[in-house]
Amino acid sequence: MAVVKVDKLARSVAEGPSLMTGAFPTKDWMEVPAVFKPGNYAYPTKPEKLEYLNSQQGVSFPNAREWNPEDEDWKLPDNWKDIIIQGLAERLDKFRSLKIFMDCCVRCGACADKCHFFLGTGDPKNMPVLRAELLRSVYRENFTLAGKILGKLAGGREMTVGVLKEWFMYAYQCTECRRCSVFCPYGIDTAEITMMLRELLHLLGIGINWAMEPVANSNRTGNHMGLTPQAFKGNVDFLCEDIENLTGVTVNPTFNRKGAEVLFITPSADVFAEPGIFTCMGYLLLFEAIGLDYTWSTYASEGGNFGLFTSNEMMKKLNAKMYAEAERLGVKWILGGECGHMWRVVHQYMDTMNGPADFMDIPKSPITGTVFENAATSKMVHISEFTADLIKHGKVKFDKSRNAHVKATFHDSCNPARAMGLLDEPRYILDHVVDGWVEMPENTIREKTFCCGSGTALNTDEIMEIRMRSGLPRANAVKYVHDKHDVNTLGCVCAIDRATLTTLVDYWVPGVQVAGLSELVGNALVIEGEQRQELDEGLRTLV
């Protein structure tokens, strides 16, 4: 089982004197250690957050401590190696997919140049094949006959502190966007390899705060922000006031109302931070326009599920709260807002973890009568599917001139696109709410869409450079349509996108704003009895 190709992929030779000292590789990739310095790692989890989570039922987050990635000593438990190997053994046994992914890669290299982290850095360990090799080499050494006997000759590698540090560095330079998987002839889901790496690291108390604090907050108060029910409702009420000022339409959403037909769940950033709040105003206006019988929940007040980036048990627990709340309120089905990874969890994992949600009905639009058979087991419909269906049946009226300030393109958010196949509905909506919009180049959209570079809880400011370089492939395509077609708005359907693409285009393509699709819907929506002011910037207009 030679690994010549892997070596080749990662090697280059440079000759002659150079001013660019220190950048040329002189060692085999396995011999290049991970070096942590300010700016190239996200801050570790605060011990109190981990201690809190470890005290919760159904999840385990041991070994909470103060530690610094830049220190040589990571204060690992004495038996750390046993914990890792045992943890890997358990996961190989539990997840057949992991076992297959460990064995079936032929290192063809099809994935190598598809990762936005590799494209932005040129670091070979950001090639999905090599990132997976970081785990696979340890797997070979410990779990395959060839690896046990031949070791390095068979691509095996001893589990050392150095390897562990590499895991931490590169498991957090992957946004689990799954673009590489689209190109893998064997369908290896490299995101699941990253998920396993992160799970194994958590066994030793190694994780990042930007993931774990939202997880802790979600577990405690129901949303990433740690908003209490009162604060959550207060924020939505505040948006309702804005809507009334802008459009003259009074919206009166309800909260925790038993017997509502639909439970609406969206990322909490939509009720809290720009530009998500404009998307939220779009939802509120749409529901008012069609007279939807729905309720918000201040308990299931978060669509995002950072458990996906943490551990399968945590993901299951956070996902369960949405369904527990749906059952408590007795709703018929759930309508989900513009979130990215929530849809991966709902579409690909929910059924196995917490399903089937038999206590609800197969979702049926009360306005059009359409039955969403695609959500027959999850009982959860995407807002874009729902809106597109309303448009198709002529149940909503738009005035495109209200989006005259917008020249849009559409960024397929990774998870809705690749994990649930939501490709045409957003485009159909755009066709109806803006006067004209353009696609980015073919190899950067739909299934091949490039990640924002900040998913999986990497949207933190201490790794801004990493985010900018990994977001370059996306921004580069946006720049192309901005330069060629004067595009000034990047539409998307994901809360992390809304927050992080805003920063990304600010650096790479100034003059482009980021908008959730429902914001553009809200801008153009014509509602009976409204007294809309001249809104030059739609729902963003300051009045």
Partner 1 sequence: MELTEALQHKQKDIHALWLDRTLNSYVSPGFFKKAKDPFANPVGVNISKALESIFSLLVARAEQSEFSQPLDQIIRIRAVQDFTPAQAVAPLLELKWVIKEIFKKNDKTRDLLSQLDNFDCEIDRVALAGFDIYTECREQLHRCRIRELKSGSHLITDGGCPSRLLDKETALADNKQSDK
Task: By CB under 8 A, tell whether 309 contacts partner 1.
Answer: no
Q: From 11, 31, 26, select the one nearest 137 (Cα to Cα).
A: 31
Task: By CB under 8 A, tell whether 298 contacts partner 1.
Answer: no
Listed in sequence order, the residues at least 6 apart from 90 whose beta carbon sits closer than 8 Å to its beta carbon are none
Residues 443-472 that bind partner 1 (CB under 8 A): 443-444, 459-461, 464-465, 468-469, 472
Residue 52 CB, shortest distance to partner 1, in Å, is 12
Listed in sequence order, the residues at least 6 apart from 267 whose beta carbon sits closer than 8 Å to its beta carbon are 224, 276, 302, 303, 304, 337, 338, 339, 342, 495
Task: By CB under 8 A, tell whether 318 contacts partner 1.
Answer: no
Buried b (16+ CB within 10 A) or exposed e, 266-287: bbbbbbbbebbbbbbbbbbbbb
Among 120, 363, 455, 516, binds partner 1 (CB under 8 A): 120
End-to-end CA distance of the chain: 68
Task: By CB under 8 A, tell whether 56 contacts partner 1.
Answer: no
**DSSP helix, strand, coil percent of the chain (3-state; round to 5):** 50, 5, 40
Stretch that binds partner 1, among 321-329, 371-379, 428-436, 438-446 (CB under 8 A): 438-446
Residue 467 CB, shortest distance to partner 1, in Å, is 9
Task: By CB under 8 A, tell whether 511 contacts partner 1.
Answer: no
Residue 540 CB, shortest distance to partner 1, in Å, is 14
Residue 386 CB, shortest distance to partner 1, in Å, is 27
**Closer to partner 1 by Cβ: residue 205 or 275:** 275
**Closer to partner 1 by Cβ: residue 184 or 269:** 269
Question: Helix, strand, or coil here: 94?
Answer: helix
**Closer to partner 1 by Cβ: residue 116 or 332:** 116
- CA–CA distance, 403 with 541 (Å, rounded to integer): 12
Residue 450 CB, shortest distance to partner 1, in Å, is 9
Stretch that binds partner 1, among 114-122, 174-182, 328-336, 376-384 (CB under 8 A): 114-122
Residue 314 CB, shortest distance to partner 1, in Å, is 16
Residue 5-44 contact track with partner 1, rule CB under 8 A, x = bound:
----xxxx-x-xxxxxxxxxx------x-------x----
Task: By CB under 8 A, tell whether 503 contacts partner 1.
Answer: yes
Helices (H) and strands (E) in the chain, counts: 24, 10
**Closer to partner 1 by Cβ: residue 120 or 336:** 120
- CA–CA distance, 350 with 377 (Å, rounded to integer): 9
Among 248, 421, 441, 511, binds partner 1 (CB under 8 A): 441
Site size with partner 1, rule: CB under 8 A: 64
Name the token pair of 409.
């393109």
Task: By CB under 8 A, tell whether 473 contacts partner 1.
Answer: yes
Task: By CB under 8 A, tell whether 425 contacts partner 1.
Answer: no
- CA–CA distance, 237 with 338 (Å, rounded to integer): 20
**Closer to partner 1 by Cβ: residue 237 or 506:** 506
Residue 85-104 contact track with partner 1, rule CB under 8 A, x = bound:
--------------------
- CA–CA distance, 176 with 415 (Å, rounded to integer): 9
Q: State the DSSP code for 72.
A: S
Name the token pair of 519.
């914001």
Residue 122 CB, shortest distance to partner 1, in Å, is 3
Residues 256-275 that bind partner 1 (CB under 8 A): 269, 272-274
Residue 208 CB, shortest distance to partner 1, in Å, is 10
Total Cβ atoms within 10 A of residue 50: 24
Task: By CB under 8 A, tell whether 476 contacts partner 1.
Answer: yes
- CA–CA distance, 526 with 400 (Å, rounded to integer): 10
Question: Helix, strand, or coil here: 485?
Answer: helix
**Closer to partner 1 by Cβ: residue 98 or 466:** 466
**Closer to partner 1 by Cβ: residue 23 or 543:** 23
Are the CB atoms for 97 and 184 separated by under 8 Å?
A: no
Residue 272 CB, shortest distance to partner 1, in Å, is 7
- CA–CA distance, 506 with 502 (Å, rounded to integer): 6
- CA–CA distance, 536 with 543 (Å, rounded to integer): 10
Position 539, amino acid = L
Place of tokens 């963003």: 540
**Closer to partner 1 by Cβ: residue 124 or 147:** 124
Residues 209-248 that bind partner 1 (CB under 8 A): 209-210, 213-214, 217, 221, 224-228, 230-231
Among 33, 58, 62, 122, binds partner 1 (CB under 8 A): 122
Q: From 128, 173, 114, select the one nearest 443 (Cα to Cα).
A: 114
Name the token pair of 259.
């017997």
**Closer to partner 1 by Cβ: residue 227 or 524:** 227
H helix or E strand, kind and range, residue 526: strand 525-526
Are the CB atoms for 383 and 283 separated by under 8 Å?
A: yes
Q: From 116, 39, 176, select the one nearest 455 (Cα to Cα).
A: 176
Place of tokens 């290299």: 109
Residue 338 CB, shortest distance to partner 1, in Å, is 17
Q: Give contact residues for partner 1 (rule: CB under 8 A).
A: 9-12, 14, 16-25, 32, 40, 112-113, 118-124, 127, 209-210, 213-214, 217, 221, 224-228, 230-231, 269, 272-274, 441, 443-444, 459-461, 464-465, 468-469, 472-473, 476-477, 480, 499, 503, 506-508
